[in-house]
Amino acid sequence: MYYIRRVPLQKICETAIISLLVFTIIWKGGKSLESTWLLLGVGAFAILIQNIFTSGKRSDAIDKRPAKAELELLVLLFIIWTGLSYIFSSTPNYGLDEVFRTGGLGLIMIWYINRSVGDDEKNPNSFEYGFIRWLSGIAALVCLIGMIVYVFQPVNRFVGTFFDYRFHTDYWPNAYAEFLLLSWPIALFVSSLSNTEGIALKYLKKLNLSIHPALYSIYKFIRPFLKYVPTGLILGCLLLTYSRGAFIAFFGQIFLLSILILGHKGSRKRLNKPLTHIALGLVFGFVLFVGVNEIRSAVHPIQSMSEKVTFTASEGKSSISERKSFWQHALIMTTEKPVFGWGPYSFRFVHPRNQEHVLATSDHSHNVFLKLSSERGLIAAMIFVMLLFTALKPGIETSLKGKRFTVEDHARLGYPLMVTSVAGVIAHNLIDYNLQFVGISLPFWILIAILAGRSKFGKPIFIKKNPKNIRLSTITTSISVILLFFAICEAAFLVTSSFGRHAEASENIDKAIAWYEISEKELFTRDMRLSQAHLHVKNNDLESALVVLNDYIKRNDQDARAWKLKGEINLMKDEFDLAIDNFDQAFKYGGWNDLGISKGMLEALFAKTYTQPTTDAAADSKKLALHPKIAEIAPKVETRVREFTKAIEQNIHFVALSPNPEDAIKILITLSVLFPDNADEYHMLTEKIENKMNEERSKIKSRRPGWLW
């Protein structure tokens, strides 16, 4: 009776996870919030179902499999530490989605670990086979969809389905390249499992149709290569992403796979074939790369590969220098708060105080381990390292020593290729971070679970004694219920706040404010309170705007935008001293990213100077230049506006398309009053900014629109 009840529920969980995998990859790569909420919902559902119907057998199974108990304990610790980091976060208006994402991924991993306990080792595991086949198939499908987007949309790098059609800037080619690094070894594995008879020929036989002998001979010749077309398709799309970091990680994958295959103690002749198939796939991929670019060139310009390789593309060498600064800033943040970090997703707000270059900012530190250490603390980073080690160590041992992954002999390629897949994602995340995409992180964590959960070499590495006194199932169930409760509550507020954003977009200010007030108890507010303050300013209700801003700053005092807006409101109210103080705080937190802060600071100082009464006419004429705050801030502002001028000339990070050029011109006019001896130079800088700004904006206006949207 138990078995009859258990099987359908387990199949429902498996189907839900596979369906989630397909949805997240196709829908924006899983970048959207609905993907994160669905991830947590599926993970919590799977765990609750598992613990309800397997609670009687779970503890004995764990005692017999101490390596899996160790892995489950590490996953639980990682989830708990992420939650604690959020509780002590310095920026709690952001980061709750990372808690939910970590929780959902961890729960699905725990579900798989305990699901595999007690399975019949003699039978192929349908979930593993279903997972790798769906992942391979959906990767190929997404490549085909991406070709349509690449040919008919203006974006000059391949993005697959990793884009948001609502915004012309939301294309994520580097994230998609990381997904391809994860999927091509799996596609190669699936190809090795396919039967030798061609699908097309099989259907012809079923229909009793025949083909010309010459065509059949050609088909018979190319048939052995057809099953590796999906791998070649994925590799060709990898080339079209123009991701330098992904190319480096790919060559690292080839090197690692060569070691795992050539070092295998079993039949080398059979295992050497994948290297030949990869070479054939690369040839097919290169042909695809040239062909698709040729088609696109008839509609839109194409990216030059030589410019990317020689760092002469639009971003220049900034991608290298900025990564170094991000890593340095992450280390500084780690030393400042080593235990729980600054909070999930806090890097975006905290690191700009250490910034030294124009718009050299990012949401993440471009390194997964530094991101974890700076945002969630050193312990979280160490737990993540231990998790990876517990998965990769037995996976590599199985690749080198084990005879097979399943009962099928040719499937022994599974472990080397899965290790290669996981290693490629890790390597790419050493110079970038894209695990916030559920379409990447979900298959990545499942592959880790498979490597650790199915290995026959798995032994406890860090925890030598079985955790007999720890009821892991109780802890897991409690975490599932807690996360699910908060997710349901926040889902309701996400709906109401989205109504407010839609009302704001349609310029219905009063309605938007009403919806935002309904959503005030939301934890994951993001920029809602800033939007609410802007709406109050539009209604000329400055007092209400200040109340909202003060509430926002209590939750996140690291955001330069809040201090800037507060300074602008103080300036409207003629509270010049307060405005100067708030602009000064904003200048420290975001002066390299927004010249509007410098402009506001100078406006407040000028207003303060002109409103000061004096009886000495001579002193009054000199007060503007002698104001102590102006003397302190003007050189810093001048340094920034000069650097912004250089950035605008090169259009670094598309700065010429932002409001910064207009702010730079206003600042230069002000500086020409402060320093009349340099007025001619400031005038020349103004002309350069205007010329470049008009040039870049005219390019955008003249650019062919997308054919799809």
Residue 64's pLDDT band (cuts 50, 70, 90): very low
In SS3 terms, 182-235 reads as HHHHHHHHHHHHCCCCCHHHHHHHHCCCCCCHHHHHHHHHHHHHHCCHHHHHHH
pLDDT at 463: 59
Across the range 216-226, mean pLDDT stands at 62
Report which of residues 606 and 94 the model is more confident about: 94
Tell whether the model's pLDDT for residue 448 goes beyond 50. Answer: yes
Report which of residues 401 and 656 the model is more confident about: 656
Least confident segment among 309-323, 596-610, 688-702 = 309-323
Closest CA to 89 of 448, 451, 340: 340
pLDDT at 709: 66
SS3 label, residue 171: strand
Cα three-residue angle 440-441-442, rounded to 5 degrees: 95
pTM for this entry: 0.90
Query: Which parts of 591-669 are beta strand (E)?
Result: none
Separation between Cα atoms, residue 648 and residue 636, nearest integer Å? 18
Q: How many Cβ atoms are within 10 Å of 145's Cβ, its own excluded?
A: 12
pLDDT at 260: 83
Separation between Cα atoms, residue 359 and residue 592, nearest integer Å? 6
Residue 416's pLDDT band (cuts 50, 70, 90): confident
Across the range 364-390, mean pLDDT stands at 95
What is the Cα 409 distance to its own chain's centre? Answer: 38
Residue 159's pLDDT band (cuts 50, 70, 90): very high
Report which of residues 116 and 257 the model is more confident about: 257
pLDDT at 412: 61
Tell whether the model's pLDDT for residue 263 goes beyond 90. Answer: no
Separation between Cα atoms, residue 439 and residue 180, nearest integer Å? 11
Alpha helices in 263-401 (DSSP H): 268-271, 273-297, 305-309, 318-336, 347-350, 368-375, 378-401
Across the range 452-460, mean pLDDT stands at 57
Handedness of CA 483, 489, 494, 495 (dihedral sign): positive
pLDDT digits (tens, 9 = 90+) for 473-506: 889 999 999 999 999 999 999 999 999 999 999 9
Strand pairing partners for 171?
163
What is the Cα 6 distance to its own chain's centre? Answer: 36
pLDDT digits (tens, 9 = 90+) for 266-298: 555 555 667 777 888 888 889 999 999 999 988
How far, in Å, are 89, 271, 437, 602 from residue 223 at the CA level?
57, 20, 36, 72
Could you give the percent of the chain with pLDDT greater than 90?
Answer: 59
Separation between Cα atoms, residue 80 and residue 74, nearest integer Å? 10
pLDDT at 455: 52
Separation between Cα atoms, residue 388 and residue 427, nearest integer Å? 12
pLDDT digits (tens, 9 = 90+) for 523-532: 999 999 999 9
Q: How many Cβ atoms are within 10 Å of 677's Cβ, its own excluded?
A: 7
Report which of residues 250 and 319 the model is more confident about: 250
Residue 308's pLDDT band (cuts 50, 70, 90): low
How far, in Å, are 319, 323, 520 from residue 437 at the CA level?
21, 20, 28
Separation between Cα atoms, residue 579 and residue 593, nearest integer Å? 19
**Average of per-residue pLDDT values in the chain:** 84
